[in-house]
Amino acid sequence: MIDRDMNKLNNPYNDDKVISACSLFGMMDVSGKVFSGKDIIRAIANMHVRSNGLGGGFAVYGLYPRYADYYAFHLMYMNKQARTETEDLLKENFHMVLAEEIPVNPCIAVSNAPGLWRYFLEPEAASLNGRPADDFVIEKVMQINTCIEGAFVFSSGKNMGVFKGAAYPEDIASYFRLEEYAGYLWTAHGRFPTNTPGWWGGAHPFNILDWTVVHNGEISSYGINRRYLEMFGYACTLQTDTEVIAYAVDLLMRRHKLPLEAAVSVLAPAFWEEIERMPAAKQELHRALRTVYGSLLLNGPFTVIIARQGEMMGLTDRIRLRPLTAATRGDMFFLSSEESAIRLVCPELDRAWIPMGGEPVIARLGGTKVVAEGAVAAAKGAC
């Protein structure tokens, strides 16, 4: 079925995988109020030196309220034929409510820009044949990405969207006119890859359904993470750590229905010695998670911001080899590679703190603001 090697686009030198370092930023209004991309663009630009102009991108949630019940597909087309073929496939399998070109600012100098289109889709009941719609959507995304030459789905969730490309994030933002959009949750990424693909699909965030992942670091367990996911039918077409993280989260949380806390303990588990000091029931859970899902442990340095509808989480590896700062101000919740980027857009914070390695910080819509936090201590007077 795979007659097109996505990897060749993203990884022209056929490295084991694409290695990249990065800057991350995430901001969310837990009351659900939407805001423009203005601040996050400034914040990610403040960490310009952490990326090298070969990748930048944004994810926005609460983006398409008018079409909130439809899967929003964002597509990159390298040629006209790709669009024709893709639209045929989409029409065959989905009810298409709207198809339009994603508006861009042609005055922004970016190279290798593909054709950019978006579609609002509902799977045809007949095509679903009783299967969960999400599984069907994943299958179609993989089909387009691996079978249609020159087409790439880079966003496929509902009421959210990814915008990305091969340039500095602030230029990508201007190109996609992101200051004109509004959402209640934004994540951003500036990339420093160690090859020069110049291919837009390789930028972060990586997306599947409404999961997005932005990531800083290199996962030295990538080889086995990937082989494990392949056992469950995930085709790792891009050969990036980020893709693997997105699939891992999809497998653990959507398909195996693990609560977020348990999924996090798979990705960044406690040390065996610590597990032995836990109370009996907790010990049993953590031992089981590590024993069964050991192949999904993300080893090596990483910080990730994982988001889905209504939720944003920051997590670092268990010996914290990459940085993450979290902060709150009223209903706003921030995650960033560097505190200065947060201060740029929100100089006065209620709290700013550095979470412990391997301990997630999570913000959810409504209810409590930050439901789990790895703050080392109350950041007394630090703000």
Partner 1 sequence: MTGKEPTSPAVTARDSVQIDAAGLTTQQLNDLLRRAVADGIKKIELRNVCGQRYIGTDLGQPVEIDIYGTPGNDLGSFMDGPRIRVHGNAQDGCGNTMNHGEIVVYGHAGDITGLSARDGKIFVRDYVGYRAAIHMKEYQERKPALVIGGTAQDFLGEYMAGGTVIVLGMELKPGEKHRARFIGTGMHGGAIYLRGEVEKYQLGKEVGVKELDDNDRAALGSLVGEFARHFSYEAEALLQGKFIKLVPLYLRPYGRLYAYG
Partner 2 sequence: MKTYLPNRFIVERDPARCIQCEVCVNQCSFDVNYRDADEDEVRSREENCVGCHRCVLFCPTRALNIRRTPLDYRENANWRPEIIEDIIRQAESGGILLTGMGTDKAHPIYWDRLVLNASQVTNPSIDPLREPMELRTYLGRKPDSLTVEPGSLALKTKLAPQVAIEVPILFSALSYGAVSINVHKSLARAATEMGTLFNTGEGGLHRKLYKYGANTICQVASGRFGVHPDYLNVGRILEIKIGQGAKPGIGGHLPGEKVSAEVAATRMIPKGTDALSPAPQHDIYSIEDLAQLISALKEATNYTKPVSVKIAAVHNAAAIASGIARAGADIIALDGIRGATGAAPKIIRDNVGIPIELAIAAVDTRLRQEGIRNQVSLIAAGGIRNSGDVIKAIALGADAVYIGTAALVALGCTVCQQCHTGKCAWGICTSDLRLTKRINPDIGAQRLVNLLRGWSLEIKEMLGGMGVNALESLRGNRLHLRGVGLTDTELEILGVKMAGA
| Residue ranges in contact with partner 2 by CB under 8 A | 14, 16-17, 19, 21, 194, 217-218, 220-224, 227-228, 230-232, 255-259, 261-262, 269, 271-273, 281-282, 284-285, 287-295, 297, 299-301, 319, 321
Q: Which of 22, 147, 346, 383 is catalytic?
A: 22
Written as six digits, the tokens of 69 are 């019940």
Give the residue with the Cβ less far from partner 1, 198 or 323.
323
Written as six digits, the tokens of 143 are 């089909």
Answer with the entry of partner 1, partner 2, none that 373 interacts with (C-beta below 5 to 8 A by kind). Answer: none
Rounded least distance, CB 354 to partner 1, Å: 5
> Do the bridges between strand 211-217 and strand 302-308 make them parallel or antiparallel, or are there none, so unpaired?
antiparallel
| Residue 197: strand pairing partners | none
Written as six digits, the tokens of 246 are 């997105």
Written as six digits, the tokens of 240 are 């990036």
Rounded least distance, CB 304 to partner 2, Å: 15
Give the residue with the Cβ less far from partner 2, 53 or 300.
300
Rounded least distance, CB 157 to partner 1, Å: 31
Contacts of 368 (CB under 8 A, 6+ apart): none
Q: Between helices 80-93 and 133-147, what is the axis angle to 10°?
A: 160
Give the sheet arrangement for strand 370-372, strand by strand. 206-208, 211-217, 302-308, 311-316, 361-364, 370-372
| Residue 383: strand pairing partners | none
Catalytic, 22? Answer yes
Size of the residue set binding partner 1 (CB under 8 A): 31
Q: What are the backbone angles phi and psi of residue 211, rounded to the nearest 5°? A: -75, 135
Written as six digits, the tokens of 151 are 């087409």
Give the residue with the Cβ less far from partner 2, 21 or 213.
21
**What is the sign of the dihedral through the CA atoms of 260, 181, 63 and 121?**
negative
Is 376 a binding residue for partner 1 by CB under 8 A? The answer is yes
Binding mask 228-267 for partner 1 (x = CB under 8 A): ----------------------------------------
Rounded least distance, CB 223 to partner 1, Å: 26
Answer with the entry of partner 2, partner 1, none that 301 interacts with (C-beta below 5 to 8 A by kind). Answer: partner 2
Rounded least distance, CB 325 to partner 2, Å: 20
Is 303 a binding residue for partner 1 by CB under 8 A? The answer is no
**What is the sign of the dihedral through the CA atoms of 271, 276, 279 and 281?**
positive
Is 45 a binding residue for partner 1 by CB under 8 A? The answer is yes
Give the residue with the Cβ less far from partner 1, 170 or 210.
170
Contacts of 12 (CB under 8 A, 6+ apart): 195, 197
Stretch touching partner 1 by CB under 8 A, among 32-40, 105-113, 186-194, 335-343: 335-343
Answer with the entry of partner 1, partner 2, none that 295 interacts with (C-beta below 5 to 8 A by kind). Answer: partner 2
Task: Work out which of 97, 300, 323, 372 binds partner 1, going by CB under 8 A.
Answer: 323
Three-class secondary structure assignment of 155-200: ECCECEEEEEECCCHHHHHHHCCHHHCEECEEEEEEEEECCCCCCH
Rounded least distance, CB 377 to partner 1, Å: 4
Q: How many CA atoms lie within 13 A of 126 on its CB side?
A: 5
Answer with the entry of partner 1, partner 2, none that 92 interacts with (C-beta below 5 to 8 A by kind). Answer: none
- Give the residues lining the site for partner 1 (CB under 8 A): 45-49, 170, 273-274, 277, 319-320, 323, 325, 338-341, 343-344, 352-354, 356-357, 376-382
> Annotated active-site positions, please?
22
